[in-house]
Structure 1
């Protein structure tokens, strides 16, 4: 984590995103995408270990130091794909690789399926496709999502009197992380407010999706991946419980490696970050 990191803001036609940039200017281009409710600090351990790459680790919209979506809008997964495409164009990268964790891995697969000509390689950490739903569930799901969206303005984010209280809350969240990982994410994800600290993340990120892809949609995106893809599954993570999804992978393009650790193994500790780096070094920077 001692490697030089550059803090930047990327102005796009529709929003402004924050990012950390690692590696030499002439390194192979990689955009790193974090998981839901995380931020660019998710790659603070891993990125310095991937030498020879120009890694742009984004804060997704609504996360970290990036702008929030305009009022009255939501955070659909495909809107993140558009953001990433806009960042690549802003960087002048016609072809580039994607390094994605969890939701970031899902965004990566959607982009590689939709625009296979733009993606060089996919390096995925414990994420593959979004939660799916079937057609008969769609009206009820949309109704609930719209009701929740209308009510979100009445909800207030928690305020933690001390920084450590927020760290402890992050450790025991929906998907737990180590204390060291929680501290990294909190340093970037918290902001001071009267009475203590609260999260910078947009409250709308907690809302349910208005619409979900069906299983047929998800399989179609995977089948359109035409670049080399390396998927790391965490033994105690999320994907290990979804064996059916893994059966959709085409062995001609996807390599799958299972590593010990939890869902955030790449940031929980240095050993986990090193195991992930050892898998991705030669893959993202083939000699």
Structure 2
């Protein structure tokens, strides 16, 4: 990450927490912009946190200041609380958490700004709650993470086998420590050839995913269970049916150097479903909104918002009926 992408001090976010009524889970967030402005909830990718927007949002707000943006740390990520031992991490659980957060904020209608896994959550919400989701902007996610029917069955069985082995494990999991934030950032930057990060970007993300003791020794605080096999990866037919209910304007920004379809080729056969879908390809890699030409990504999003305006104050105050997916 270049020095030019570091957030100006005048656009420092405010820390905020939400205690969810249903689960009593406490989620952390960073709040940007003007309360009462156009509401946008920003969602991050797998194993990241709200810092993923720390380069994008200062530029975005400098050019479009009348917004109220809350960038959430998903459960188990960043500074948010981990789920209890019997609870699962999946798209449904993340989407339910988002609904509770926006209800606590008092937002009847809102836009979603998302990266990677956050895009899966956003598309699910947009399909289920079309009267509430006004826009979806998804960076590096156009389709749900899908497999064929055989793959879905395999994931279910693999997850159960993992739980069987875990329940018989004699010793608890231990967390690896690192001598410094720079050391753990270097590991994160080198951890995925398909989703590379610069050292600067990795350090920004890991700063919020770690704690340091008095001697500077760093430990990751991300919930280790996030890496456990998931039974929730859905099949292509299910995805096509679910996402066909998206009605809001949808912008997908893809990186020319991204590798998502290479990693999950089945996603290319799953319809996004949105009749208003616009796809823009920009130079960069998976974290192009953080680690490449961030201003170009911002300008692309703002140009699209110019064609699909965000809510004005009187529109935000209009009550929204509770409607959603019809069974």
Q: Could you tell me the TM-score, scaled by structure 2's length?
A: 0.81
Shift of 1:251: 7.1
**CA pair 138-258 structure 1, distance change in 2 beyond 3 A:** closer
**CA pair 148-130 structure 1, distance change in 2 beyond 3 A:** farther
Shift of 1:162: 2.0
1:54 to 46, 68, 79: 68
Over the residues paired in the alignment, what is the CA RMSD in angstroms? 2.2
**CA pair 211-5 structure 1, distance change in 2 beyond 3 A:** closer
Please state if 1:213 is matched with 2:234: yes
Name the counterpart of 2:36: 26
Shift of 1:119: 0.3
> Is the deviation greater in 101-110 or in 136-145?
136-145
Shift of 1:233: 0.5
Distance 1:170 1:159 in 2: 13
CA deviation vs aligned residue, 1:70-115 (integer Å, no higher than 9, x gap):
0122201111000111111110111100000000011100110111
2:207 to 172, 187, 195: 187
**CA pair 243-281 structure 1, distance change in 2 beyond 3 A:** farther
1:65 to 79, 84, 109: 79
Name the counterpart of 2:282: 259
**CA pair 132-18 structure 1, distance change in 2 beyond 3 A:** same
- SS of residue in 2 equivalent to 1:32: strand
1:8 to 11, 16, 19: 16
Q: Which runs of 4+ in 1 moved over 6 A?
A: none
* Matched residues, number: 285
Please state if 1:41 is matched with 2:51: yes
8 Å Cα contact 2:148/2:266 also seen in 1: no
Runs (5+) with no aligned partner, structure 2: 1-6, 311-327
8 Å Cα contact 1:163/1:197 also seen in 2: yes
CA deviation vs aligned residue, 1:121-156 (integer Å, no higher than 9, x gap):
000000133322344444542232133245287332
Name the counterpart of 1:106: 120
Shift of 1:216: 1.0
Runs (5+) with no aligned partner, structure 1: none
Name the counterpart of 1:236: 257
Name the counterpart of 1:130: 144
8 Å Cα contact 2:180/2:217 also seen in 1: yes
Distance 2:95 2:282 in 1: 27
Q: Could you tell me the TM-score, scaled by structure 1's length?
A: 0.92
Name the counterpart of 1:176: 196
Name the counterpart of 1:277: 298
